[in-house]
Structure 1
């Protein structure tokens, strides 16, 4: 069995794209289009479920890793894309363990919130003092929020049990319903702000704490769906980690573990070919050597198909014609600056008195950036220390638009280098219209639809596992393993 995957760079929280699996003659042929974390994880899971005889071809027109990417400053690499992973992300943890990768050493740093005029909230060295300040300013809003997020995460964690027992879901709605019932589905349709106000969280807390977190994680405001917001808030808590050497190493490692054949190519079109009741799919692609094509029994699209995201893949010969999925992707600019932060802009004329490693911002009309943070390289030596504000350091600025010279001079007293990466980072949640299908056509699957529910490395990994299981069960006509109800009871009965 031969499998092919196509990788295309994208911007998680800044994942990517995978493409095709091709089989040897007289054997089933598989493919994955896209090789960010979603596509590379799909290749790995397809290998697990379809066996060692599968050959995995991976098409990638850009860099493996997609939205997991790095840039180099002074001979050190820094994350320009998805940079943090939560401790409850069990698939990512398992990948790191299987690949023999290491957790990057954590370098402590304090966070502040800036409203355009002054710092309104700041982290200290004393946890109890921080809690007292939160209570004094916001009452018990932060406690209500934490209990809400923990309840959602506890329900979401059921997915690992379901997947460990081999169960799959034919749609994002079915998956969410199995975890949290209609409550989770409703959370994908209701603004985060409405859900929090109903919970008893104050408007002030939403404006000064929740909104800055949404701005740094998704570049959007508190009108995003509640489920997306909960995913984002879970990622804003403690117990976060990253991979030594760069998070993108997980993607290249998964492809290697899957024994994937990486092809630098752009997949141009997918066309159904009927010789029986169920179609195969002809993939046409372009490499540096010229044009090519291949026939596959299963294709997994692991690249966004919404407007504004240029996957470059055309769907030809489908009846009815394949329609572009609704919604679009949000543009976020990551600017890596090597220079001296202008701490006076934040109310600290003496940079030696500026205690923060990162500054988040409230939703204020005049603010042109979402966050600025001192960042550490992906390889941290034992003696490494974070640069002090009076020293030249490396900073990552998230903004909705590229920074012009005047804006750079506002944030930095001076700088040596500026590197800009513009990501189509995650869905534009305000314009999303429902959740896209997982099954586009018989044996043609779409991974990135899960991002409309929540965009993060682990969400893509969960979707990858689900699609590999779904493809396997559909291929073997194991209907009793798809879209089953009351799974917690079923699993307890099986045990």
Structure 2
């Protein structure tokens, strides 16, 4: 009787849909309100229409890994700070929401090996090229050509998605973009791939590793596809959202008119109604334990225990097994204080010209250091000089000890930290997961096991929305097409 009572709302929804001839889903659940969850809610409404109810469950703060920290009455990015110029979905979101790009404040960068600066950027482009050539020959050109080739193929995804094509698994998506070459890149390391195209080991150790440590907290042993996406971000022009990148998430949810439920989802169980799957989502919040029924469920959060997720799946035959590896912990420390420029070889802080310091494998206690600008940059804003107190962002694999803070800073007023399970520990030996866990149950974050960035998550959100739409209306010709590269040259 209790089970029948729980099914009554779902049966009523199905009967109402049948009576009106409305073939659209009645209710959709999205678990997670980060960039993936907010984007997929937006895309789902685009495809299914505004009459579909979309519930978005979020146990924390809307924005997920897009977040800010307040320091001295100013807000600074503590999560993903910059977006690539080729982030087309994010560019479109900003335009739709009426947001603006943050004004760029220039700054030079350098690479530190624990003892000295192995590479220093100048204000002159030609001099920078000469220094790269002098130290590494034409390795930087070979790297650029390699990254550009990967990005040119990856950009095909936008054309595929514009024509409604979707993929049920990460391997199918990668194959559609770069055929066997992209699959192999997910199984071969960055170092191995770059050595094959003539990039020197020294350039990999000094420059490539520094970029990967700053973006992923990992080494050149990570898979080549994920590494290429990271290196593309280091080469292109970057931008951020005025007021904070997290405004994209809250803006999309408001635009979608999604019902945000502040609760922790604990399980998803399968119920069958007239042979059609119906999913019961169980959740907990301050009011207690609750549940509701949905036609479509999208998990837009990592499912590995390291991420803090403990969602279980019941009633599925065969059982749903989400076998994924660990996540890479990253600690972001916002330090308001005076940089110890002597540690980097500049006894006089007035002569220290850099806003960003990347690191090679040494020192091991921090990955990168940036002189941050606030999320709201006025026309009169100028970046603080090293001899002045400034807000520095230090990315590290573990919380910084007091002794380590004293190594990096002469003195400081405050330290605020945010700990993220930021990226999967990318392994060239791990299997590629699937987006589709069941008929209308999807895992958006599957794609981050191939590459992890804000825009890649938005691409995954669009793919999952299209996958749900095509499966709902049984337009199976739009799923897992193997000849899309040929179609691009002809009908598309």
What TM bracket, shorter-length normalisation?
A: over 0.9
Summarize the alignment of residues 325-404 of structure 1 with structure 2, pairs less than 5 Å apart: 325-364=323-362, 366-404=363-401
SS at match of 2:457: helix
Counterpart CA distance in 2 for 1:489 and 1:221 is 36
Q: Which runs of 5+ in 2 are unaligned?
A: 1-11, 18-24
Counterpart CA distance in 1 for 2:487 and 2:341 is 58
Summarize the alignment of residues 440-455 of structure 1 with structure 2, pairs less than 5 Å apart: 440-455=437-452
Q: Name the count of aligned residue pairs.
A: 473
Give yes or no for the alignment of 1:472 onto 2:481: no
Counterpart CA distance in 2 for 1:408 and 1:172 is 41
Give yes or no for the alignment of 1:34 onto 2:32: yes
Residue 232 of structure 2 aligns with which residue?
A: 234
TM-score under structure 2 normalisation?
0.94
SS at match of 2:325: strand
Could you list the structure 1 runs, at least 4 aligned residues long, displaced by more than 4 angstroms after superposition: 22-25
Counterpart CA distance in 1 for 2:452 and 2:426 is 10
Q: Which has the larger displacement, 313-322 or 451-460?
A: 313-322
Aligned Cα RMSD in Å? 1.5
1:360-386 superposed Cα distances (whole Å, 9 cap, x missing partner): 01112x431011110000000000000
Q: CA deviation at 1:68?
A: 0.3
2:187, 2:428 within 8 Å by CA — same for their partners in 1? no
Summarize the alignment of residues 172-251 of structure 1 with structure 2, pairs less than 5 Å apart: 172-251=170-249
2:39, 2:252 within 8 Å by CA — same for their partners in 1? yes
Residue 308 of structure 1 aligns with which residue?
A: 306
Residue 6 of structure 2 aligns with which residue?
A: none
Give yes or no for the alignment of 1:86 onto 2:84: yes
Q: CA deviation at 1:23?
A: 7.1
Summarize the alignment of residues 105-144 of structure 1 with structure 2, pairs less than 5 Å apart: 105-144=103-142
2:337, 2:411 within 8 Å by CA — same for their partners in 1? yes
Alpha carbons of 1:38 and 1:350: their partners in 2 closer, same or farther (altered >3 Å)? Answer: same
Counterpart CA distance in 1 for 2:464 and 2:324 is 21
Give yes or no for the alignment of 1:145 onto 2:143: yes
Residue 169 of structure 2 aligns with which residue?
A: 171
Residue 22 of structure 2 aligns with which residue?
A: none
1:326-363 superposed Cα distances (whole Å, 9 cap, x missing partner): 21111011100000000000010000000000100111
1:271, 1:317 within 8 Å by CA — same for their partners in 2? yes
Give yes or no for the alignment of 1:456 onto 2:456: no
1:293-338 superposed Cα distances (whole Å, 9 cap, x missing partner): 1001110111111241212322223233332422111101110000
1:62, 1:264 within 8 Å by CA — same for their partners in 2? yes
Residue of structure 2 aligned with 1:58, choices 29, 32, 56: 56
TM-score under structure 1 normalisation?
0.93
1:191, 1:224 within 8 Å by CA — same for their partners in 2? yes
1:247-271 superposed Cα distances (whole Å, 9 cap, x missing partner): 0000001111111111111111110
Counterpart CA distance in 2 for 1:385 and 1:267 is 44
Residue 6 of structure 1 aligns with which residue?
A: none
Residue of structure 2 aligned with 1:253, choices 251, 254, 268: 251
1:110-132 superposed Cα distances (whole Å, 9 cap, x missing partner): 00001101111000011000000
Q: CA deviation at 1:492?
A: 5.0
Alpha carbons of 1:321 and 1:486: their partners in 2 closer, same or farther (altered >3 Å)? Answer: closer
Counterpart CA distance in 1 for 2:491 and 2:119 is 50
Counterpart CA distance in 1 for 2:491 and 2:216 is 40
Residue 155 of structure 1 aligns with which residue?
A: 153
Counterpart CA distance in 2 for 1:246 and 1:141 is 36
Counterpart CA distance in 2 for 1:427 and 1:395 is 25
Q: CA deviation at 1:431?
A: 8.0
Q: CA deviation at 1:491?
A: 4.6
Q: CA deviation at 1:167?
A: 0.8
Alpha carbons of 1:479 and 1:321: their partners in 2 closer, same or farther (altered >3 Å)? Answer: closer
Q: Which runs of 5+ in 1 are unaligned?
A: 1-21
Residue 98 of structure 1 aligns with which residue?
A: 96
Counterpart CA distance in 2 for 1:50 and 1:322 is 26
- 1 or 2, which has the higher helix percentage? 2
Q: CA deviation at 1:290?
A: 2.3
